[in-house]
Amino acid sequence: MRLGTGRMSASGSLFFWVTCAGSVLLVVAVFVGLFSLHSWSDQHEAQSRSLATLRTDVALEQEGIRDPTASVATDRFQDEAERALSLIMASPTQLADRSTIVEMIGAYQAAASAQVAALGRGDLQAANRIYASEEDPAFTRLDAKLSTVVSTEAASAAVGVALAFWISMGIFAAAGIGILVLVLFARRRHARIVAVEAAQRVVAAREETFRSLFDESPQPMLVTMLPTASTEGDRLQILSANQAAVTAYGYSHDEFLAMTLADIRPDEDLDLLVTNLQALQSGRMHFDDVRHETKSGEIREVEIDARQTVFNGHSALIICPSDVTDRVKLQRELEHQAFHDALTGLPNRSLFNDRLKHVHERMQRSPGYYAVLMVDLDNFKTVNDSLGHAAGDALLVEVSQRLTTGIRPGDTAARLGGDEFAILLEDLDNPAAASVAAERLHEVLRVPLPVAGRDLTITATVGVASSSGGGASTDAVRNADVALYVAKADGKDRHTIYSDHMHDTAMERLTLEQDLRVGIGRNELMLMYQPKVDAQTGTMVGVEALVRWNHPQRGLLSPDTFIPIAEQSGLINELDTWVLTAACWQAQQWATSNVGPVPVAVNVSGRSLVSCKLLERVVDALRTTCLDPRLLELEITESAAIPQNSEAMALLQSVRDLGVRIAIDDFGTGYSVLSRLEGFPVDTLKIDLSFIRSIVSEGDEAPIVDAMIAMGLSLGLKVVAEGVETDVQRAYLASRNCPELQGYLISRPIAPEMVATFLLPTRTNTTTTEPRLPTRPNVKTAA
C-alpha cells in the first residue's frame, strides 16, 4: 500500500534556471556593450589622432609652401595628409564635420595648388597674393577646424574611456552583487531542497510507519473511498484491508478489493449504514452498535472509528472496526438479567411494571383497554416440597412456556416471584376479552406437564383486572391481586374478574389475617376434640384435635374460615405449632388425670413439611408437655403426604421413630397410586368423608370404600372412616371390618372437658375400661 507523497514543486527550479540564463545573458550583453564602447572610444581616438596628423601635416605643408627653401619635404607631408584624410574618410565613426573638413581641405589644397603653380611660374607676387588671399585664410580656417574637431574627438575618446572605466567598475560591482544574490539564492534554494527532502523523508518514514502499523496491527482496518454527499454504502469501494481484517472477516485481500462497505453489513442494516455515512460527513468519527457480517455469515457486533486519510494520492477513509461481540453479549446478558427472571427467562417485576406503565400511558391517549392477570399456581408448594426443588423449578419453567404460548405475541407474561406470574394483555377491544384470555390460560395449563419423569396436572388461580387508562397504572395490579385473593378463597383453579365490591371482601380477609396474627399470641385459639371409636365395640379409641378461633368480635369461627387465610399468609406454621403444643398439653392432662390416656390426633398442614421443621416442633411439644409420644398422631392430608420426596419421607420416618404415629388424612382425594403406600412411613389411613357419603341406604355397595379398607388392612394399617353420619354407614363399615369410625353419628367435636363424660358411658358398656395404647402396625418403612 502506498499512501500520499508530497511532490516537489518544479516552478522553483525553473525560476532558478531562468534567473541563471538571464544573468548570463545580461553579463554577455554588458560585455558586448563594453566592447562596443571600447571600440567606439578607440575609433574616436584614432580619428582624433588622424585629424591631429592631418593638421600637423597640413601645417608642415603650409610651412613648406611658405618657405620653399625649407628642408621640409612637402611631398612627404602631402602623402601623410592624404593618408590621414583617407583614414578619416574610412572611419566608421560619424564625424559631423567631415564634409566641411573635406571641403576646407579641398579649398586649401586648391589655394595651395594655385600658389604652388604661381611659384612654379615664378610669379611670386601672384603666389603671395594667392597665399594672402586664399591659401592662408583657407589654412587658418582648416587648422582651426581641425583643432576643434581634434579636441572634440579627443574629448569623445576620453569620455568613452571614462565611460568604459565606470561601466567596468559598475559591471564589477553589479557582478559582485549578482554573485552575492546568486549565492544567497543558491543557499536559499539549497535550504529549500534540504527542507523538502527532509519533509519527504518524514512523509516516507510516516508512510513506512503507517504501512507497518496498518499491515501488522492486530486491529482490523479497511481503507475505503471517502464518502461524499451522494455516496451510498453499496458504492463505498474497499481500497485496502490489513491482515487482521482478512483474519477477522475471512475474505482474502483480493476479495476485499472487489467489495464495498455494504458487503460486510447485514442486509437489514443498510439503512443504518447510509445514516452513519451521513453522520460521518458531518464530522462524526465514532460509531457504536454497528453489526458486521463475516464471510461465513457470522454477525459480529463492532464499534467503528473512522479517520480521513490519503491513499495513493487520493482522499480516503480508514475504518477501524473493534469486535465488541463478547462485551455486548455480556452487557445484554446483564441487562437481560436485570429485567428477566433467571430461572424462566420471563420478564421480571421491574420489566412488567415498566411495560404496564407504558401501556397505561398509551391508553390514556387512545381508546382501548388493557388487562392484568395475576396467576398463582395451585398447590405449587406441595409439588416443590414433595418432588424437590429441581422438579419445582422444572415445573415453573414448563408453566412459563405454557403461559407464553397462551398469550398473543405483543402481550407480556412475567414471573413476579415463587409461583406467582403476571400477564399483561394489551390493546383489548373490551374488558371481557381478558376473561377469554384467562380461560385460554387455564386450558393451556390443564394439559399435563412432564416434570421429573412424570406427568403433573397443575391448576392455577387467576385474578383479572382491566383498565382503560384511568387512575394509576398500579391500580390494575392491585385490583388483579384482590381478584386473585378472592379467587383463591373461593376454591382455586378458577379466574375471578375484579369488581369494586371485591376490594371490601379482600380488605376483610386482610383484616382477618391481621386479627389472626395477633389472635394466636393472645390465645384466642381453642381446641375441640372429635372422638374416634372402635367400629365393633363403640369404645373411644382416641380424639382428633380441631381448632376453633374465638374471635373477639365475630365469635367462634370454624377452621374453614381462617385455615386458608393462615395457609395463604404463612401463619399456618405458628397456628399448627400452637395446636400441637396445646393438644399435647391436653393429652398429658388427661393422661395424668383420672380420664386416663387418650390418643390425640393433630392436623398438620402439608405445606413445607421439611422447611418448617416439623421434627423439631414435635420434639419440642413432647418435651415441654412430657407427653408419651405414643399418645400423639399427626394427620397429614394425602395430597401433601404421598408426593413427598425422600427427604420428607425420611423426616416423617424420624417423627415416627420418636414413637409418634402418622395418619394419612382425607385418603382417596389425592389420587395417589395405592401401591405407593407400600413402604410409606404411615400407621393410619383416614378414608375421606366423601367416600363414606356414597353409602346411603342399606344394601348399597361401596366398592371403593371396600377396596380402601381391604388394602389398608392388608398393609397392616389402622383404617378410620371419617364423616360417619348414619347408622347405615356405621353398619356397612363394621360389616367390612373397618376398625375405627369418626363422625357426627358418634360425636361432633366437643370441648376437652366433655371428653371425660363421653368416655364414661362407653367405658361402662365395654370390657376395656382404659383406651388401648396404639400398637405399631407391621408396615415396611422407607427408611
- The residue behind cell 376479552 is 433
Single-letter code of the amino acid located at 467: S
Locate the DSSP E strands across 356-419. 369-377, 412-417
**Contact, 291 vs 269, CB < 8 A?**
yes
Residue among 156, 231, 344, 603 that touches ligand C2E (CB under 6 A): 603
Closest distance of CB 614 from ligand C2E, Å: 12
**Binding track, positions 610-639, relative to Ca ion; x by CB under 5 A:** -------------------------x----
Q: How far apart are CA 764 and CA 459, in angstroms?
A: 51
Taking CB within 5 to 8 Å according to partner kind, which of Ca ion, ligand C2E, none is near residue 166? none
Closest distance of CB 639 from ligand C2E, Å: 11
Contact region for Ca ion (CB under 5 A) — 273-281, 518-526, 665-673, 754-762? 665-673
Q: How far apart are CA 523 and CA 536, in angstroms?
A: 38
Distance of CA 154 to the CA centre of its chain: 105
If the CB atoms of residues 434 and 615 are measured against ligand C2E, the closer one turns out to be 615
Distance of CA 783 to the CA centre of its chain: 56
Q: All 3 cell numbers of residue 764?
A: 361402662
Closest distance of CB 578 from ligand C2E, Å: 8
Residue 385 is a binding residue for Ca ion (CB under 5 A): no
If the CB atoms of residues 534 and 576 are measured against ligand C2E, the closer one turns out to be 576
Q: How far apart are CA 482 and CA 464, in angstroms?
A: 9
Q: All 3 cell numbers of residue 616?
A: 423439631
Residues 747-776 that bind ligand C2E (CB under 6 A): 749
Please return the burial class of 635, using the count of CB atoms within 10 Å of its CB with bins 0-12, 13-18 and 19+: buried
Taking CB within 5 to 8 Å according to partner kind, which of Ca ion, ligand C2E, none is near residue 4? none
Strand partners, 428: 369
Taking CB within 5 to 8 Å according to partner kind, which of ligand C2E, Ca ion, none is near residue 643? none
Residue among 530, 588, 608, 684 that touches ligand C2E (CB under 6 A): 530
Q: How far apart are CA 368 and CA 425, in angstroms?
A: 11
**Binding track, positions 537-576, relative to ligand C2E; x by CB under 6 A:** ---------xx----------xxx--x------------x
Nearest to 506 by CA among 594, 374, 617, 391: 374
If the CB atoms of residues 385 and 666 are measured against Ca ion, the closer one turns out to be 666
Q: How far apart are CA 641 and CA 677, in angstroms?
A: 10
Residue among 155, 744, 768, 770 that touches ligand C2E (CB under 6 A): 744
Q: How far apart are CA 725 and CA 692, in angstroms?
A: 9
Residue among 48, 467, 605, 639 that touches ligand C2E (CB under 6 A): 605
Strand partners, 238: 224
Residue among 388, 463, 723, 752 that touches ligand C2E (CB under 6 A): 723
Residues 654-693 that bind ligand C2E (CB under 6 A): 665-666, 689
Nearest to 521 by CA among 485, 555, 565, 571: 571
Nearest to 2 by CA among 248, 226, 206: 206
Closest distance of CB 378 from ligand C2E, Å: 16
What 8-state DSSP symbol labels residue 674?
G
Single-letter code of the amino acid located at 716: G
If the CB atoms of residues 141 and 693 are measured against ligand C2E, the closer one turns out to be 693
Contact region for Ca ion (CB under 5 A) — 51-59, 237-245, 404-412, 716-724? 716-724
Contact region for Ca ion (CB under 5 A) — 127-135, 571-579, 694-702, 717-725? 717-725
If the CB atoms of residues 542 and 743 are measured against ligand C2E, the closer one turns out to be 743
Nearest to 638 by CA among 606, 607, 594, 596: 606
Residues 210-269 that bind ligand C2E (CB under 6 A): none
Contact region for Ca ion (CB under 5 A) — 178-186, 376-384, 648-656, 663-671? 663-671
Distance of CA 46 to the CA centre of its chain: 106
Closest distance of CB 665 from Ca ion, Å: 4
Residue 500 is a binding residue for ligand C2E (CB under 6 A): no
Taking CB within 5 to 8 Å according to partner kind, which of Ca ion, ligand C2E, none is near residue 543? none
Judged by CB under 5 A, the number of residues near Ca ion is 5
The region, left, alpha or beta by phi > 0 then psi within -120 to 50, assigned to residue 250 is left
**Contact, 91 vs 50, CB < 8 A?**
yes
How many Cβ atoms from other residues are within 10 Å of residue 547's Cβ?
23
Residues 724-743 that bind ligand C2E (CB under 6 A): 724-725, 743
Taking CB within 5 to 8 Å according to partner kind, which of Ca ion, ligand C2E, none is near residue 165? none
Closest distance of CB 663 from Ca ion, Å: 8
Closest distance of CB 544 from ligand C2E, Å: 6
The region, left, alpha or beta by phi > 0 then psi within -120 to 50, assigned to residue 584 is alpha
Q: All 3 cell numbers of residue 170?
A: 559598475
Nearest to 774 by CA among 725, 709, 716: 716
Contact region for Ca ion (CB under 5 A) — 395-403, 407-415, 506-514, 662-670? 662-670
Closest distance of CB 621 from Ca ion, Å: 17
Residue among 638, 665, 683, 740 that touches Ca ion (CB under 5 A): 665
Taking CB within 5 to 8 Å according to partner kind, which of Ca ion, ligand C2E, none is near residue 411? none
**Contact, 72 vs 60, CB < 8 A?**
yes
If the CB atoms of residues 45 and 635 are measured against Ca ion, the closer one turns out to be 635
Strand, helix or coil for residue 766: coil
Judged by CB under 6 A, the number of residues near ligand C2E is 21
Single-letter code of the amino acid located at 431: P
Q: All 3 cell numbers of residue 303?
A: 464499534
Strand, helix or coil for residue 78: helix
Residue 666 is a binding residue for Ca ion (CB under 5 A): yes
Contact region for Ca ion (CB under 5 A) — 182-190, 563-571, 715-723, 775-783? 715-723
Taking CB within 5 to 8 Å according to partner kind, which of Ca ion, ligand C2E, none is near residue 771? none
If the CB atoms of residues 8 and 750 are measured against Ca ion, the closer one turns out to be 750
Residue among 48, 461, 588, 603 that touches Ca ion (CB under 5 A): 603
Nearest to 465 by CA among 425, 410, 418, 406: 425
Residues 620-659 that bind ligand C2E (CB under 6 A): 635
Q: How far apart are CA 183 and CA 171, in angstroms?
A: 17
Longest dimension (CA), the chain: 231
Q: All 3 cell numbers of residue 393?
A: 423449578
If the CB atoms of residues 346 and 547 are measured against Ca ion, the closer one turns out to be 547
Closest distance of CB 635 from ligand C2E, Å: 6
Phi first, then psi, for residue 454 (nearest 5°) are: -140, 165
Binding residues vs ligand C2E (CB under 6 A): 530, 546-547, 558-560, 563, 576, 579, 603, 605, 635, 665-666, 689, 723-725, 743-744, 749
Binding residues vs Ca ion (CB under 5 A): 603, 635, 665-666, 722
